[in-house]
Amino acid sequence: MISNAIIVVYYLALHFIAINPGGQSTIFIDLFLEPKKVSYGPFKGFDMYELSDFNVYHGRGKKMRKLYINRRDTNVQVLYFKDTIANALEYHLKFFKSDEPKLPTVMMLDVENDISLGQHIFRITNKETTYCGFINFAADDYNFSSLGLHAIIESVDDRILMSFNTEGIIDYAMDSLFDSNKVKFEIVRNNVIRLQ
């Protein structure tokens, strides 16, 4: 009896996937990349993170607002970024990657003083690297910590969606608190769009 029920559930799942091929989602994993300190050359004073096709250089000390992304094979610069939104004391990088090679790597640069002030969002593919925008949000967890620590990024129907696994979220621009179930973003090529 149980095995028949399992077969029916399996059949219904396959049928659903067959009639809704785009309805599948792919969850991105939080990559832990250990930075290497660059002690010579043009990126002296930077930390280097190695992605599959790229080197990400993030400044330390007086250079911490600067970020460069270069191709690993040719060392050609594909993106230069300097934070001009906030005069922060710290910046922290987080990377999210899917098992699907065609999907981009999502990179979040957290802007912090004593609390997180928000996130700069980037998309990295083998063809291009783009800055998507800044979201002026933090987790409402008594520390106002980075949303990068709570981000759930997934691909659904060829859209890159970001939600969060924390109870509350603060929107600094509106000076409002929200339930995390009511905050979701889509990460597109050159923008981060709030969906709810």
In the structure encoding, which two tokens stand for residue 114, read together?
A: 């004593």
Rg of the Cα trace of the chain?
19
Burial of 81: CB neighbours in 10 Å, binned 0-12, 13-18, 19+: middle
Residue 23 identity (one-letter amino acid): G
- In this prediction, residue 101 carries a pLDDT of 84
Q: Is residue 88 classed as helix, strand or coil in its secondary structure?
A: coil
- In this prediction, residue 109 carries a pLDDT of 94
Find residue 106's DSSP bridge partners: 96, 123
pTM of the entire predicted model:
0.82
Cα angle at 155 between 153 and 157, to 5 degrees? 150
Closest CA to 58 of 76, 85, 74, 34: 34
- In this prediction, residue 128 carries a pLDDT of 86
Cα(167)–Cα(180) distance, integer angstroms: 6
* Residue for token pair 């922060």: 88
Mean per-residue pLDDT pooled into runs of 10, the chain (196 residues): 38 36 76 92 94 92 93 92 83 92 92 88 91 90 82 92 87 82 89 87
Element of type H or E holding 26 = strand 25-27
In the structure encoding, which two tokens stand for residue 143, read together?
A: 């520390």
